[in-house]
Amino acid sequence: MSTVMRKIYGVIIALLLVAVGVGLQRTGTISLFSDPYAYPELVRLLWQHLYLVGVSMAIAITIGLSVGIILTRPRFRSYTGVIMYVVSLGQTIPSLAVLALVMAFLGIGAKSAIFALTIYSLLPIARNTLAGINAVPASIIDAAKGMGMTTMGILWQVEIPMALTVILTGIRVALVINIGTTALAYLIGAGGMGDWIFTGINMMMTDKLIAGALPVTFLALFADFIIEVLRVMLVSKGLRITEE
């Protein structure tokens, strides 16, 4: 039965690929991608998109991990509710409103977009870091203390490794959200693939709209795949088997 199902899935995927190819051809998207004059612009916009995502995610991961770890320490646990509420404001406010508010103070350009994207990406990382470390069984921590491990040793060698799957899930969610939201950065003059997406919408140019949306879609799928590869590489096999 599994062999039959694999063949059926293969046929379905093949048909979908043919349908997508026909659609891209009829909308002129393939011609746009192959246009030697459009190609440099595509590379430039894609680089801008990757730059905004990369810088904002690097900052968000640094801050999110730091906040999540600090709030798991006994002396700071009483501040968890207040700090997490402040962190969650970034996603409580709609993304367009966040961009508009930041633009009002920092002006237009990449700096405002990076700041807004960082705020918008913080919550999943900080929340999952906090939840993952807090979920480590107390018995394991007590055993580590009994072995003479220091507080920092327990954090880096016990708590974080055991919470890594949950932490990476938060980073995955934040990264996918960030890639999609970065398309809106065009509205505040930061460039990115949103340039083609919104130009296609405003000018009723389906080829440019699809040509802008496809790279964003593939970037999100590729980012999801990379995080899964990191999970397999970084999380120990024993923990993966237990989770599965």
What is the structure's pLDDT at 199? 85
Q: What is the mean pLDDT of residues 193-206?
A: 84
What is the structure's pLDDT at 171? 94
Residues 112, 113, 114, 120, CA torsion sign: positive
What is the structure's pLDDT at 1? 47
Across the chain, what does the average pLDDT equal?
82
pLDDT tens readout for residues 55-114: 999 999 999 999 999 999 888 888 888 988 888 887 777 777 788 888 888 888 889 899
Q: What is the mean pLDDT of residues 220-236?
A: 87
Residues 35, 37, 43, 46, CA torsion sign: negative
Whether the per-residue pLDDT at 244 is higher than 60: the answer is no
Domain segments of the chain: what residues? Answer: 1-34, 38-243
Whether the per-residue pLDDT at 238 is higher than 70: the answer is no
Q: What is the CATH number of domain 38-243?
A: 1.10.3720.10
Q: Could you tell me the pTM of the whole model?
A: 0.84
pLDDT tens readout for residues 65-80: 999 999 998 888 888 8
How is 156-208 classified by DSSP, letter by letter? IIIIHHHHHHHHHHHHHHHHHHHHHHGGGGGGGT--STHHHHHHHHHHT-HHH
Whether the per-residue pLDDT at 241 is higher than 60: the answer is no
What is the structure's pLDDT at 5? 63
Q: What is the DSSP letter of 57?
A: H
What is the greatest pairwise CA distance in the chain? 68
Whether the per-residue pLDDT at 178 is higher than 70: the answer is yes
